[in-house]
Structure 1
């Protein structure tokens, strides 16, 4: 590599993904059955209120507002680095390098956290089926190996795998929902838990934080822009994913409260924890259907692992291609055009975490799955909020480009305010989200990691500006450097 960071890199395969495939990637990352069976039930138990269903609908509306500016900018910017590129173009290249570091941390933590849930879930499933007791890390390793192999295959093949897994888990969730509504608790089919007044209580912050966590992954559609069949494909897929996720979460969590009765859902969530969904199903459906649902809970985690693996690999690729990270991160397979170096890097990071947790004997559910998912979600929330601000900055500097002010200014500005409020609520209640006692250092130390990484990334951007100006000039430019708006990019 020369002093300015130039080197030849690979490229991703274009025009391989249509709307359905991108929806599969984004919704699979959101892990519907994992959220309904795990996140929502934990939300009932942690918050102590039954308003989680309306929380999902509220977050869907806020993210819908965010998506207006997000997909409008996606029409202008084509970069597998997504948040990194948008923030670089809207808030400056130094902010972009800071965002790149935050994105790598957030998405790798999310992907690794899922290995904890998958390993324990698979071990429990096999033991329940009479297959004997095996350590969680064995199944985590098997899942990791499967993801590593799929990660270097053609992206459209992965889309088909995710499509099958996603269709199966959504189908079983809807079967459960129908059974819950058909056989309600004594209170009957009531909509108390969908009352917006639930968001005016003192626990609204925890409700919104937990609900936001369930949507992590919907934003990943833009990471696949370079491999999509046109930018309009990404726009349609983003909106479709958001509607599907919001409707499924809102309806399914409401159906659960119908099955328990709104006044008893918290108590039953505290009693059964993440088994509540399957306990309620067992009271209404044949044992075979419940077993299938339990198996699909595990495949839901695998699908999410695979989807986030692809996101991480493409962030590594984007940063390597532009010289922000090591150039070898941008290597791709000549046969499949998959980002093989980024995929291998992510797999190595995941393997390291599994080995460390296995040797350390730490609880993989509490400290890997639950804490990891919470920390990763916080990082995505930071990126989403900054991206909304970047959308405003980008269009103010470059002009609306034929788009309305609603799309380029008012909607993203409103999203900044609302997401900023959710961010404040998240940080103020992060200890509660983690389930630690008041004053526990984890409540502030874990969020502080993002500040450290952002400052480090920003410092790296400043160094690139001074020492490698040609590399610095490419930041955020993606596969098509030299566009007019890039020349107007401020530092």
Structure 2
């Protein structure tokens, strides 16, 4: 350990954590946090990869409408989420919200689901990143570079950024996200100007969405928004978390919702409505990203294809940095409160980067990527690019499932948190909005599970169809059990769960601190 590093640990195993948060100086404003959120959503990756795949698989024209409806549902979720963020500032975000809104034991379960889900999203994206890097190198130089070679370099860079000041990440992500928006806007303008089958409003008509296949469209679409909920993770590093976090959340969901809807409409025009509707209209070699890049090559030329290919990679990189930061801060929060080993709460002196959590996530990514690299030896190339079909598709879709589940639980936690003390929050924000959001998110969750084989590209269910969801649910159940055990064995630690190192409410405190799952104090 260098002299510039400091580890914040618990003084005794059974004492509540009092470690400082990953604050250093509060550096992040609304725009910086919004860029961190949008970076996780990876706009260019969504448009060039997610939207194209949705059209290719579902043959539903009304995809733009789905993005609007999903944005509305998530905005409703954000109403209660933002109200709670004004009262709870914790790098553990979902974990702290559930712990204080439903109960500490459930909060521990939620924390483990969040850790697994964010790690799945982050590590899964490495599969697409590695494939795109190796493909680009092969196209431009003729050299054959294994997909995992680029991933190793990328992991090193992301890990280096993770142990430095958070505003460094925010600056890098801001530049990358701005470039992503710029090139997609260029694509949108050209697509509207040169529609394949003439201009049509069919993609934005609700009747085009409410057809067979709507469930798969929502299942695909929700993944495009994953990461928007991460604003609260940066609360302890924001200049004014009571204002920064709500504003950044609403700004991000509004911008990406409108942006994805318009870009999906543009893509539908670029491909052609009739071609999308025809199950045989999109040839296998055209499906997915080729729909986007083929149009760019035809109307803008190869220079723009090369530029967008590079930005596609940087888009993935931006998402990797954002999800890495989320995992590091969850590990920090859980270590600070004694739920996980206290050493995970280590922060760098001066700027407070949670360096131990960052290094831990880096090592985990190396191990999982290494396991997939070794497993590639038995892969049949005729089935498609190994890292995309396995590492990327399996983990990111499972991660999205876990985050939707968490958002549904957080919606209920909002109701629980304000149940005994409204804290001046209106009925709409503390009850109506979170209940509606919970119902909408549960509906999306059911759609994801019902269409999981479609998301994984499977003709029929196999072991992965069941193992991947289990990898999320079982840690959640184990976390609840661990929380209950902690309540019996280490009551002082249990008392501090979800309170971010601040003094927990004492036993026998006012009614609003009652733990609804255990009957004790929260």
TM-score of Structure 1 vs Structure 2, range by shorter chain: over 0.9
Aligned length: 489
Residues 84-112 of structure 1: CA deviation (Å, up to 9, x unaligned):
11111111011000001100100001100
Structure 1 residue aligned with 2:513? 488
Specify the alignment match of 1:386 in structure 2.
Answer: 409
CA distance in 2, matches of 1:485, 1:137: 55
Structure 1 residue aligned with 2:227: 217
Does the 8 Å contact 2:60/2:214 carry over to 1?
no
Report the TM-score when normalising by structure 1. Answer: 0.96
Q: Which residue of 2 aligns with 1:424?
A: 446
Structure 2 unaligned segments of length 5 or more: list them. 1-10, 380-385
- 2:117 matched to 1:95? no
Q: Deviations over 1:207-235 (max 9, x none)?
A: 11111010001001111011111120111
Name the CA distance, whole Å, in 2 between partners of 1:351 and 1:10.
Answer: 29
RMSD: 1.6
Tell me if structure 2 keeps the 8 A contact 1:198–1:204.
Answer: no
Alignment of 1:34-433 (within 5 A): 34-130=45-141, 132-186=143-197, 188-230=198-240, 231-265=242-276, 267-268=281-282, 270-272=284-286, 273-361=288-376, 363-397=386-420, 399-433=421-455
How far apart, CA to CA, are the structure 2 residues paired with 1:221 and 1:421? Answer: 24
User: Is 1:44–1:269's contact at 8 Å kept on the other side of the alignment?
Assistant: no
Q: Is the 8 A contact 2:271 2:291 kept in 1?
A: no
Change (3 A) 1:71 1:485: farther
1:245-269: CA deviation from partner (whole Å, max 9, x where unpaired): 1011111111011112112136337
Distance in 2, matches of 1:305 and 1:30, equals 10
Instruction: Tell me, yes or no, if the aligned pair for 2:17 and 2:502 is still in contact at 8 Å.
Output: no
Counterpart CA distance in 1 for 2:149 and 2:470 is: 32
The secondary structure found in structure 2 opposite 1:268 is: coil
Aligned-partner SS, 2:273: coil
**Superimposed CA distance per residue, residues 351-379 of structure 1 (whole angstroms, 9 cap, x where no aligned partner):** 00111111121511111011111000000
- TM-score normalized by structure 2? 0.91
Q: d(CA) in 2 for partners of 1:60 and 1:10?
A: 35
The separation in 2 between residues aligned to 1:104 and 1:258, in whole angstroms, is 39
CA drift at 1:270: 4.1
Counterpart Cα distance in 2 of 1:372 and 1:143: 18
Work out the CA distance in 1 between the residues paired with 2:502 and 2:29: 21
C-alpha displacement of 1:123: 1.0
Gapped runs of 5+ residues in structure 1? Answer: none
Aligned equivalents of 2:157, 2:511: Cα separation in 1? 39
| Pairwise CA distance, 1:441 | 2.8
3-state SS of the aligned residue for 2:274? coil
Cα deviation digits, residues 302-338 of structure 1 (max 9, x gap): 0000000000000000110111111011000013310
Superposed CA deviations along residues 409-449 of structure 1, whole A, max 9, x for unmatched, are 00111111111111112112211211213332322221122
Structure 1 counterpart SS, 2:12: coil
Q: 2:496 touches 2:502 (CA, 8 Å); kept in 1?
A: no
* Rounded Cα–Cα distance in structure 1 between residues aligned with 2:492 and 2:17: 12
